[in-house]
Amino acid sequence: MKNKSNLLTWSIVIVILLVIIFHNSLYLFYWQATKNYIKIADYSYENKDFQKAFFFYNKSCNEGYIHGCEMVGKMYEEGKGVKQNYTMAVKLYSYVCDKGEIEICRKLAHWYENNSQDRADYAKLVFYYYNKACKFGDNKSCMNVALLYLTGQGTDKNIDKAKELYEKMCLSGEYSCACISLGDLYATKQIDVKDSYQQAKFFYDKANCGLFGLF
């Protein structure tokens, strides 16, 4: 009876190991296949075989490879290897942005910014994508978000949130140019405290980006 129990236990262990090996092999197969798709796509793109490039970028995107999705979006945007389709380009760029690709988030923000005169609701999308990039750690986008809070474009006007962003970047040393903007808030009395000019001078002195404030 004991031998049967041991045999069953070992059988279960072997089955589990085989499942793990199969799963890992399948993962490696897809990973290698995706790498090959990208290699073929990059080579085809460089040699201006855009239809082939689009085909393999699209396959890699379907396998979850972010660079492939970005390139499919680019090809839709430029009409290379496929009929130009801005809706599909934006959809793919938005997906890539959500995965943490800061440059694509900024690209979308810039695109909506440059076309905001055509659609009033685009201002909200400018804020949305700059804010995404900011949350992913892009200080330049955080500067834009702070400015949008100050002007109330695409979001409610909120000087406190702008101040919070400037302070975080300035005091942490992440982006010292934010100290200039923070100093400006005090110097122009947008943050009205008793010693506002002293505060402004303090932050201007902390800035180290080749710019000068009022002092």
Q: Specify the pTM.
A: 0.77
- Least confident among 1-5, 27-31, 122-126, 154-158: 27-31
Q: What domains are defined for the chain?
A: 1-99 (1.25.40.10)
Question: 9-21: per-residue pLDDT in tens?
Answer: 655 656 565 555 5
- Least confident among 8-22, 46-60, 76-90: 8-22
Mean pLDDT of 97-119: 91
- Distance, CA of 91 to CA of 106 (rounded, Å): 15
